[in-house]
Amino acid sequence: MTRYRVRQVSGNIAKDRRDDLATEEPLEIRVLAGGVSRTVAITMRTPGADFELAAGFLHGEGLVRPGEIQAIGYCTDDDVPPEARYNTVSVRLPHLPEVPHLERHFMTSSACGVCGSASLDALKDRCVPLVTSAVKVHPEILYGLPATLHDAQGVFARTGGLHAAGLFTPDGVLIQSREDVGRHNAVDKLVGWALLHDRLPLTGQLLLVSGRASYEIGQKALAAGLELLCAVSAPSSLAVDLAREFGMTLVGFLRNERFNVYAGPERIL
C-alpha cells in the first residue's frame, strides 16, 4: 500500500486526511535458458507474490509446464539498474519456449490484461484438454463464496482498490486467495502459487474472481485444469464461448444469493 494526503469533501465541509491506496508498479517478466534472457511481458501489478505472478502468467500463456521452472528470482542482469531489480523477475527454464508470440513483447495493463491466445482455435492448437471431471456444487455453497473471499481481502479492506481471486473446494472451503489491481494478475498469482507448490492441475476445485469473467481469465482457468469459474460480475461473450467449447461451467453475477449459469449447468445441483 502507498499512503497519500488527500482532501476529503463532504457537503460543505472539507478536511485533510491520510489515505491508503493500492500500489501499482510495473513488473517485467523474463525467461532465461542457455545463457539467453528474453523479456516476454511487462505488466502493471500490485507488488507482492511476484514470483507466483510470473509463474502463473507463463503457465497461462502455455510457455511453461509443471516441473519446468528450474529457478525463479529477481533479476540481477547488468542491464537492470538496482532500483528496478525488484520490478524484474527472471524465470530459468530448460529451454526457451518456441512459440511465435515470444518474438514480441507483451505489454499488459492492470485493467485489461493480455490475451496471448486470441482465439478458441489458438487454444485448441495448444492442445488444452477438454474439462471432463464430474464435480457438482450446490447453489447454497456458491452463495457463500463472495463473502468468504471478501473476508480474505486484507489489503482491499484498507484501500478499496483491489481485485481478488479465490480457489475453493466444492464444499466452499477457501484454499488460497490472491489480491491485485488487475483481475488477471490475481488469477496468475493464484495459479502460480499452485504451480510452484506442485498442485496443478486444479481439477475438482472452483475459482471465484471479484470482477467480471473475461476470455483471458477463462483461458488461465482452463489451462490450470479448473472446470468451474465464478464471477461476481458479468462474463464477456468470448468467455462464454470458451466455456461452452471446452466444457467448463461459467457462473456470473454471483451476489445477493443469485447467479446466472452461462455454460455447464450440469455441475450445479
Query: What's the CA gap between 174 and 167, in Å, rounded?
Result: 6
Nearest CA-CA partner of 108 in 52, 40, 50: 40
Measured in Å, how far apart are the chain's first and last C-alpha atoms?
A: 41
Catalytic hit among 112, 115, 127, 230: 112
Close Cβ partners of 257 (under 8 Å, ≥ 6 residues apart)? 143
Query: What's the CA gap between 85 and 90, in Å, rounded?
Result: 10
∠131-107-210 over CA atoms, to 5°? Answer: 50
Asked whether 68 and 200 are in contact (CB, 8 A), the reply is no
Query: What's the CA gap between 136 and 228, in Å, rounded?
Result: 9
How far from the centroid of its chain's Cα atoms is residue 220's Cα? Answer: 7
Query: What's the CA gap between 142 and 138, in Å, rounded?
Result: 7
75 catalytic residue (yes or no): no
Q: How many residues can be counted in the chain?
A: 269
Query: What's the CA gap between 74 and 198, in Å, rounded?
Result: 21
Q: What share of the chain is helix, strand, coil (3-state, %, to 5)?
A: 30, 30, 40
Q: Which residues are the active-site residues?
A: 112
